[in-house]
Amino acid sequence: MTTSPKQKSSVLPTGGGAALLDPEDAVILLLDHQSGLFQTVKDIPVADLRRNVEVVARLATLLNIPVITSASEPSGSNGPLMPEIHEIATHAVYVPRKGEVNAWDNGDFVDQVRATGRRTLIMAGVWTSVCVMFPALDAVAAGYDVYAVIDASGDPSEMASRTSLARFVQGGVKPTSANALLSELHRTWARPEAAELAKLYGLAAPNYAAVMESFQKAQAVARASA
Amino acid sequence: MTTSPKQKSSVLPTGGGAALLDPEDAVILLLDHQSGLFQTVKDIPVADLRRNVEVVARLATLLNIPVITSASEPSGSNGPLMPEIHEIATHAVYVPRKGEVNAWDNGDFVDQVRATGRRTLIMAGVWTSVCVMFPALDAVAAGYDVYAVIDASGDPSEMASRTSLARFVQGGVKPTSANALLSELHRTWARPEAAELAKLYGLAAPNYAAVMESFQKAQAVARASA
Amino acid sequence: MTTSPKQKSSVLPTGGGAALLDPEDAVILLLDHQSGLFQTVKDIPVADLRRNVEVVARLATLLNIPVITSASEPSGSNGPLMPEIHEIATHAVYVPRKGEVNAWDNGDFVDQVRATGRRTLIMAGVWTSVCVMFPALDAVAAGYDVYAVIDASGDPSEMASRTSLARFVQGGVKPTSANALLSELHRTWARPEAAELAKLYGLAAPNYAAVMESFQKAQAVARASA
Amino acid sequence: MTTSPKQKSSVLPTGGGAALLDPEDAVILLLDHQSGLFQTVKDIPVADLRRNVEVVARLATLLNIPVITSASEPSGSNGPLMPEIHEIATHAVYVPRKGEVNAWDNGDFVDQVRATGRRTLIMAGVWTSVCVMFPALDAVAAGYDVYAVIDASGDPSEMASRTSLARFVQGGVKPTSANALLSELHRTWARPEAAELAKLYGLAAPNYAAVMESFQKAQAVARASA
Amino acid sequence: MTTSPKQKSSVLPTGGGAALLDPEDAVILLLDHQSGLFQTVKDIPVADLRRNVEVVARLATLLNIPVITSASEPSGSNGPLMPEIHEIATHAVYVPRKGEVNAWDNGDFVDQVRATGRRTLIMAGVWTSVCVMFPALDAVAAGYDVYAVIDASGDPSEMASRTSLARFVQGGVKPTSANALLSELHRTWARPEAAELAKLYGLAAPNYAAVMESFQKAQAVARASA
Amino acid sequence: MTTSPKQKSSVLPTGGGAALLDPEDAVILLLDHQSGLFQTVKDIPVADLRRNVEVVARLATLLNIPVITSASEPSGSNGPLMPEIHEIATHAVYVPRKGEVNAWDNGDFVDQVRATGRRTLIMAGVWTSVCVMFPALDAVAAGYDVYAVIDASGDPSEMASRTSLARFVQGGVKPTSANALLSELHRTWARPEAAELAKLYGLAAPNYAAVMESFQKAQAVARASA
Amino acid sequence: MTTSPKQKSSVLPTGGGAALLDPEDAVILLLDHQSGLFQTVKDIPVADLRRNVEVVARLATLLNIPVITSASEPSGSNGPLMPEIHEIATHAVYVPRKGEVNAWDNGDFVDQVRATGRRTLIMAGVWTSVCVMFPALDAVAAGYDVYAVIDASGDPSEMASRTSLARFVQGGVKPTSANALLSELHRTWARPEAAELAKLYGLAAPNYAAVMESFQKAQAVARASA
Amino acid sequence: MTTSPKQKSSVLPTGGGAALLDPEDAVILLLDHQSGLFQTVKDIPVADLRRNVEVVARLATLLNIPVITSASEPSGSNGPLMPEIHEIATHAVYVPRKGEVNAWDNGDFVDQVRATGRRTLIMAGVWTSVCVMFPALDAVAAGYDVYAVIDASGDPSEMASRTSLARFVQGGVKPTSANALLSELHRTWARPEAAELAKLYGLAAPNYAAVMESFQKAQAVARASA
């Protein structure tokens, strides 16, 4: 996996935003989004979860952000990784594990992360409280700046979900959502990818797709009658 | 719009099912699924609503059931009809209206229904309490057997939604859901369209898509190790 | 109170709609929407309830439908009638009661209803299970066609609310909502009051106000750039 | 148990209300409100349930309506009847059972009901779906007019509760709530018990107690400054 | 499958209960409780659903009520029948189907029902709106008295679930719950199976298990100190 | 207001509990529990809120903990203080304010707190986000150890309530609940007030009242049969 | 934009409140409250959101607090700024952006904030997780004291909303609500604007409007009868 | 109670995971899971709570982690400890208390904890806000690393539950859930206990049991047809 050299993108504003995610320093880790585990997710409907993961994968592809995936025992009952991820993010690198529940316990996985030279980790996975929490806490301990995309992840109950959010904050992991991540990486409409990014809002916030349909129709009607 | 001649499909069981929908007698009416109205729907997420409408449209296409659509003032703020319907159900007939809120108040619409020669109407629309309710009550009064697909329709509040369900039952309209309609028209796995129908369950009940992914992977693993 | 002579409005479609409300035969009864009782309503937020009552009052005024109001012990802790009703519907007639919980137990009230010569009663009030339910059941027994506007009414718990809906259906009262009533009386956009009626949808379904704002802006932008 | 001879109370309005409960014909049946069963109730908080039962008991006492209670195996794990009922309604008659789940299966119980000479039964109990449902369906079959006070009763899940409501309506049992029952029996403020009845609204709809406190304070302040 | 000859059980009360289920006339139909379909159930947690099915199976075994099961394509992605049913109800008869979605479309299934000579059908299954609804409507049409055990069944959304309940009532199917069914068949504590039946309440209403534990401990402590 | 001299109560355990509330150092501040403000509370039913405030007042009385109350414009629309507080906690001191929203802005109030010589403040009030939040933040700034009893307080929406909880934690205020406060002050059953304290659990957690009723009955039955 | 010179208002209490917002040091930033974005808000009904924004705008006007607004691509599908803001707060300054998602990335916006000379920023916007979060984090990094008005802002899901609240707390942003902000700036009833401020509580907590109506009527009745 | 000597288990990965629980240093404390207290739990269904406690007990047994239990007045109305704990974890040590609400106030309990030589405490109990919170805060003060298993514990309301979570985080206690604890102790599938651990996921996340059933059936079908 080759990664972009570390430098500020020319599209980013120069004056502000020091507190925000730097896309040039980021790597996205998608962990254990597997069909068997999806059945146990109870804090978000599985259709929404998959759509949010798709948003993250499309975003990574559009903005050329490295993606590393992994799966927990995909030949067993946990089931296969959702296929959309690698179909969309063809540049994603898959790291097999040797039984470790926590991807950070797998040396190959950590090596792959280190090889990107990036220090900001954006993680999502199923379960949030396990497959995201454990590597996130370990990565914070190793000095990384870590974001957890809560709604591109899933937990087996609402109670577990609230508990995960609290533990992330306590452990110094920054919680975010797919739509906020999209916006934080998008950063400005004055960039060449803007039209493609716009479509992703219709996935992350489905009412937005209808907003865009209404807008285009209203303008077409106005122009036709102008 | 040409419709199938009225005769029992050879794929249907002969012994039972007299109380169920007869697909040979059915016509599907999709009313006012428009982008502006979608924003007001509060009893179902708009992504789920659109997916359920897509299920109905795909089902109609697969089983060759006539579809009639209409829209309420689509050049105004109600917005355009969701494009997926006519993209999927290319055989659907669109009937423009002259301002009538209730499609049944429009003579062309009623004529189009009558022209199918069918007496079982399957309706969905936005709002449930208006665009489905009014023609449904009128159609019952005109002697039709009417089904309302509640989750391919939408109402502006949970309270309005519960109220609609009660009024349908009171008025002799049969309430159903997209998944139940799919099953009631599907009727048997011993038919040529079975594989295509199977995919629709993954849309109507999204966890089912993951069930199928798990199943196929489990079998592939077993066969590889056999 | 003078009421319109019974005849079909020229704006109404002639072909269909026999199952729907006839606005020429309707009278609106707004019962006990009082500030003290509002505090006990738990099935709808009081802001939404008042906005829905406002929709009904504006609708009555626009379409010249008679309105009769009443209040239960307004000098006591039940509090005054919400002032918007008579401010908006200046043609509304207020009937004081002599302590009766059920407005139908008050002879003056029933006389006022009879004086309209209309047989379709559209009722709303607080509590739904009491101030609407009791006169509604009595009116059905007296041969009237009765509608209860569920979300322009309020009950002291969700459980009481569900119970009211069931009892209405059981008793032959037709349940509806403010938005559906608006649509059922509106009936067609091809009428002089259309622009005024359009505004009411922004009250009954608040997202619709934003839909209209977006539409107008989109058209203005398109025209400016045309 | 002596019961009032059947005649219309002089406090009741004479003109209307034929569709409503006649308090002179009513008997209240409170079934199996037992401490052990209370723990299984999940469709209403137990504090609210007990308060609603208290409302019914106080109402019966104020208006001199006969009350019959029973309990299911009170020496076993179902636990004792909630003591408030007989403390408040000292005129209530307790009928022990011989193991029957359905009170209507117990001859003594049915005899006690018949002995009142009344044909309108107001029932509440735990569980709604069992201890109310079974005697209610049997009583309807025996020609009684039957009301079920849904929120003075309790079921072991929300799903069971919705199911009970549907089965009551299907079976011809009229569903009501404690507050609606209070109002339906109260009927008019122009009666000697009005002040005592007013207090019960503060139990049935707890915000009403604060409404009365505010009212009295506001008047006291106004008078002091007059 | 041999079934009990039709005669009233000696344990049942003789005076009342004509409106209730007659266990001597009942047969239980458990339809398509399959592991793949379970993943799509969203109106009840799968642990509760399985526990309720277990209650029904244990009840059938204790009271010697015939049970017929079936599954929809159990070698495909719908998955195997939950094993507990046949483990508990060893007398249950399994009827394979030939692809029919609706068990009533399968002649063998209907023959098996007819062979019991019983006219009261107690049905549960996944999905409620399909696997229970279709045979239930057909059985009502065929003159059977039909009960649907709502919480031993499951639907793919809350909206579909509410819709099913309404359609059952509309179609003359009696809705019930596992706990109510247990009580309706239990009928009296004065029967030899009482102790075994008591345990089932701890499954149908889990707080009841703790009620019994508390009761036994309290008595043991009292006796020890007596 | 005389307060207990500062010394460890002999009933408290000596070995542990350093991290817990010291009742000898505590003063309870009950702020603006007024009938008008109660109507705006939407994060807890008003009956539960009042019962929790009653628990706190009874606890203070039983354990002789000083109580200071205040009200915001009680002669205006905010309404009178709920009367139960001073009826139960007859030792409570009421401090009138001169229009300040924040009790800590009132010098008399702060003086009264200081006069107790205690440094641990247990606060509750309506609204949580205002009448508790503002003095709590000020008291933390002044070096006090501050507890907020969340469910003896109330906020105007669930969203405001979650926001308050977050701001308390951020500001160093310790959030607790009425039941937890009862337990933290109760501390041991080996104290003379134990029987009286036990009753309070039935108020703070209403199912506990039924637990005690079941327990006593079970023991009585066992003893009677011993 | 001219701003008030920095000095303590004479209406504020002098003794306490150091931990609270200083209105003399505050500037209000209203970001991207646009009609298209409103359609995607799912953590608060849009009517409530707009009413809360109105409260903030009215409060700023009454207390002469500077307001800066901005919008994200208002000529595109995001739609126009809600018009009420500038209609009410005529002193508000609008800063156009050049495509930046994060207002703090726009130099003109930051300059406008600096020009006020104030260091306390009160922010609200749509989406909370984006349009409020990003400038809030940047402003904290730049040394400002930052408040986020959670319910005058909106996020596309409940899950995103909970996540935003956690990230605000983690990042040192103080979360508040419209009603709490009103109270915190109101501070005392002993000020000339008190009557105008009182009306705002009826917007921020709609039940309060009915409380005031009841109060005035109760006093009027008392005076009339005095 | 003999405990394992402190050394890293050979099954654990060596490279990562420093931020996670060390099972070799852990002791599990199960506090006051009593039948009477269970009835007051309202933030989790009691069946789920007991199943999660069972998961913890089975996990402790499988991985040979010491368990200490205690109960609060088990001969009184709080009721007996749920029997499953000691049935499953036969190595668990029960410590009776002398009336202390807070187990950490009991010297024997603290001594027992100290005797394990372990510094990581995993606590669960009823109530979360009391029986877990108090010893958790005391243990943190005493230098222990403390985890609270939120869903193997229970609180008397949702509001109390959210409050507990916030107070844990504020007090330095790490919140977790039964499923996350299982995963964090499980750590790798490459260990001899893997098959036994796999079964526990079906308890902690019940849909997982059906996932495993589907998987095994799919493989059996594939092998049979291979």
Instruction: For residue B173, give the DSSP letter.
Output: P
Q: What region, left, alpha or beta, does residue E147 occupy, with left being phi > 0 and alpha being psi -120 to 50 degrees?
A: beta
Round the average pLDDT of chain G to a whole number and report it: 93
Find tokens 């008030």 and name the residue: G4
C-alpha radius of gyration, chain F, whole number: 18
pLDDT (tens digit, 9 = 90+) per residue, F166-209?
999 999 999 999 999 999 999 999 999 999 999 999 999 999 99
The whole-number pLDDT of residue A8 equals 46
Would you call C27 a catalytic residue per the annotation?
Answer: no
C-alpha pair distances (Å), F131 with each of C73, F142, H160:
34, 17, 20
**Residue B8 in this model has a pLDDT that exceeds 60:** no
> Model confidence over E91-122: pLDDT tens digits?
999 999 999 999 999 999 999 999 999 999 99
Residue H107 has pLDDT above 50, yes or no: yes
Residue A122, judged by CB atoms within 10 A of its CB (0-12, 13-18, 19+), counts as buried
Share of chain A above pLDDT 70, in %: 92
Residue C6: inside a domain: no
Cβ–Cβ < 8 Å for E148, E47: no
Q: Is residue B124 part of a domain?
A: yes
- Reported as a pLDDT band with limits 50, 70 and 90, residue D6 is very low
At C13 the pLDDT is 56
pLDDT beyond 60 at C73: yes
Touch of E by B (3+ CB pairs closer than 8 Å):
yes
Domain span at A181: 23-188+199-225
| D153 close to D124: Cβ distance less than 8 angstroms | yes
Residue of A nearest to H218 (CA): A77
- The verdict on residue D106 lying in a domain is yes
Dihedral of CA atoms H183, H189, H195, H198 in degrees, nearest 10, equals 30
Q: Across the interface, do H16 and A99 touch by the CB < 8 Å criterion?
A: no
Which tokens sit at B10? 């050879």
Exposed/middle/buried for residue F184 (C-beta within 10 Å: 0-12, 13-18, 19+): buried
Answer yes or no: is H13 within a domain. Answer: no
Q: Assess whether the previous peptide bond of H127 is cis (omega < 30° from 0).
A: yes
Q: Determine which helix (DSSP H) or strand (DSSP E) holds B152, and give its type and residue range.
A: none
Residue E142 contacts by C-beta under 8 Å, 6 or more apart in sequence? none
Distance CA C198, CA F155 (A): 36
| Residues E65 and E181: beta-carbon distance below 8 Å | no
Q: What are the helix (H) ranges across chain B?
A: 35-38, 46-63, 84-88, 107-115, 133-141, 158-170, 178-186, 194-204, 207-224
Q: How confident is the model at residue C3 (pLDDT cuts 50, 70, 90)?
A: very low
pLDDT tens digits for range D19-75:
999 999 999 999 999 999 999 999 999 999 999 999 999 999 999 999 999 999 999
Beta bridge partners of B94: B69
In degrees rounded to 5, what are phi and psi of residue E75?
-90, -5
DSSP letter string, G96-160: --SSBSSGGG-HHHHHHHHHTT--EEEEEEBSIIIIIHHHHHHHHHTT-EEEEEGGGSB-SSHHH
F45 and H157 in contact (C-beta within 8 Å)? no
Q: Is the previous residue joined to C189 through a cis bond, with omega within 30 degrees of 0?
A: no
Cα A206 from Cα A51, distance rounded (Å): 10
Our count of domains for chain C comes to 1
Q: In the sheet that F145-149 helps form, which strands lie side by side, from edge to edge?
A: F93-95, F67-70, F26-31, F120-125, F145-149, F174-176
Instruction: Give residue H226's pLDDT.
Output: 76
CA within 13 Å, CB half, B13: 28
Q: Is residue A8 part of a domain?
A: no
CB atoms within 10 A of CB C141: 17
**Hey, what are F17's tokens?**
């509990």
B124 vs chain C: nearest CA distance in angstroms? 16
Burial of B11 (0-12, 13-18, 19+ CB in 10 A): middle
What's E82's DSSP letter? P
Q: What share of chain D is helix, strand, coil (3-state, %, to 5)?
A: 50, 15, 35
C-alpha to C-alpha distances, G72 to A183, B159, G110, H83, nearest whole angstrom = 12, 34, 15, 61
Q: pLDDT band for position H18 (50/70/90)?
A: confident
Percent helix, strand and coil across chain A, each rounded to 5?
A: 50, 15, 35
The answer to whether D51 and D33 are in contact (CB under 8 A) is no
- Region A213-220 average pLDDT: 96
Beta-ladder partners of H31: H70, H125
Most E CBs within 10 Å, among F207, F219, F221, to test the E interface: F219
Look up residue G24 and give its DSSP letter. G
Kindly indicate the confidence band of residue H80, based on its pLDDT and cuts at 50, 70 and 90: very high
- The stretch C41-60 carries a mean pLDDT of 98
Q: Is the CB of residue D179 less than 8 Å from the CB of residue C160?
A: yes
DSSP letters for H15-52: SS-TTS--GGGEEEEEE--BHHHHTT--SS-HHHHHHH
E38: closest CA among E156, E151, E148? E156
**Residue G6 pLDDT exceeds 60:** no
Q: Report d(CA D113, CA D95) in Å as an integer.
A: 10
What mean pLDDT do residues C166-173 have? 98
Query: Residue H13 above 70 pLDDT?
Result: no
Whole-number pLDDT of residue D226: 76
Q: Do residue E163 and residue B183 have CB atoms under 8 angstroms apart?
A: no
- Dihedral (Cα; D57, D58, D59, D63), 10-degree rounding: 110
The span from the CA of D80 to the CA of D34, in Å, is 5
DSSP E149-191: EGGGSB-SSHHHHHHHHHHHHHTTPEEE-HHHHHHHHH-BSSS
The per-residue pLDDT for B11 is 54
pLDDT mean across residues, chain E: 93
pLDDT tens by residue, F69-83 = 999 999 999 999 999
Please list, residue by residue across A73-101, b when 16 or more beta carbons sit within 10 angstroms of its beta carbon and e when fewer do.
bbebbbbbbbeebbebbeebbebebebbb
Q: Return the C-alpha torsion angle G167, G169, G171, G173, nearest 10.
A: 120
pTM greater than the 0.90 cutoff: yes
- Look at residue F16 and tell me if it is in a domain: no
What's chain E's Rg over C-alpha atoms? 18
- Full strand arrangement of the beta sheet holding B26-31: B93-95, B67-70, B26-31, B120-125, B145-149, B174-176
Residues near H14 by beta carbon (within 8 Å), at least 6 away in sequence: H8
Q: Binning pLDDT at 50, 70 and 90, where does residue C226 land? A: confident
**Are the CB atoms for F122 and F28 separated by under 8 Å?**
yes
**How far, in Å, are B143, B167, B173, E131, E177 from residue E137 at the CA level?**
21, 21, 15, 11, 18
How does residue D201 score in pLDDT terms, banded at 50, 70 and 90? very high
At F179, list the tokens. Answer: 């039941």
pLDDT band at D16 (very low <50, low <70, confident <90, very high): low
Q: For position D2, what pLDDT does the model report?
A: 41
Touching subunits for chain H (3+ Cβ pairs under 8 A): A, B, E, F
Question: Which residue from D9, D23, D1 is spatially nearest to D183, judged by alpha carbons?
Answer: D23
Q: What is the pLDDT of residue E16?
A: 57
Which structure tokens are listed for B153? Answer: 């329709």
Reduced to 3 states, what is the DSSP secondary structure of residue B26? strand
D29 near D103, Cβ under 8 Å?
yes
Best mutation site among E213, E215, E221 for testing chain H: the one with the most H CBs within 10 Å? Answer: E213
Element (H, E) at A152: none
Size of interface A-H (CB pairs under 8 A): 134
Is residue B141 scored above 50 in pLDDT? Answer: yes
pLDDT in tens, E131-188: 999 999 999 999 999 999 999 999 999 999 999 999 999 999 999 999 999 999 999 9
A11 confidence band (pLDDT: 50, 70, 90)? low
Tell me the shortest Cα–Cα distance from G21 to chain A, in angstroms: 24
Query: Predicted confidence band at F11 (pLDDT cuts at 50, 70, 90)?
Result: low
| E133 vs B contacts (CB less than 8 Å) | 180
Answer whether G touches C (≥3 Cβ pairs < 8 Å).
yes
The single residue listed with the structure tokens 């109506």 is G213
The per-residue pLDDT for H65 is: 98
* Residues of G whose CB is below 8 A from F155: 177
Please enumerate residues of F whose Cβ is less than 8 A from a Cβ of D: 35-36, 38-39, 45-48, 50-51, 74-75, 77, 79-80, 82-83, 206-207, 210-211, 213-214, 217-218, 221
CA distance E144 to F107: 79
pLDDT of residue A18: 75
Average pLDDT over residues G34-63: 98
pLDDT tens for each residue of A137-187: 999 999 999 999 999 999 999 999 999 999 999 999 999 999 999 999 999
In a domain, B32, yes or no: yes
Q: Is residue F71 one of the residues assigned to a domain?
A: yes
Contact across the interface for D48 and F47, Cβ inside 8 Å: yes
Angle, helices G158-170/G133-141, rounded to nearest 10 degrees: 0
Chain C residue nearest residue D164, CA to CA: C163
CB contact (8 A) between residue A40 and residue H211: yes
* pLDDT range class, residue F5, cuts 50, 70, 90: very low
Average pLDDT, chain C: 93
Q: Which chains sit next to B, with 3 or more Cβ pairs under 8 A?
A: A, C, E, H
What does the DSSP assignment read for H79-92? -PBPTHHHHH-TT-
- The pair phi, psi for residue C69, each rounded to 5°, is -115, 165
C18 — pLDDT class (breaks 50, 70, 90): confident
What is the average pLDDT score of chain F? 93
CATH number at residue D159: 3.40.50.850
Question: Subunits touching A (CB < 8 Å, at least 3 pairs)?
Answer: B, C, G, H
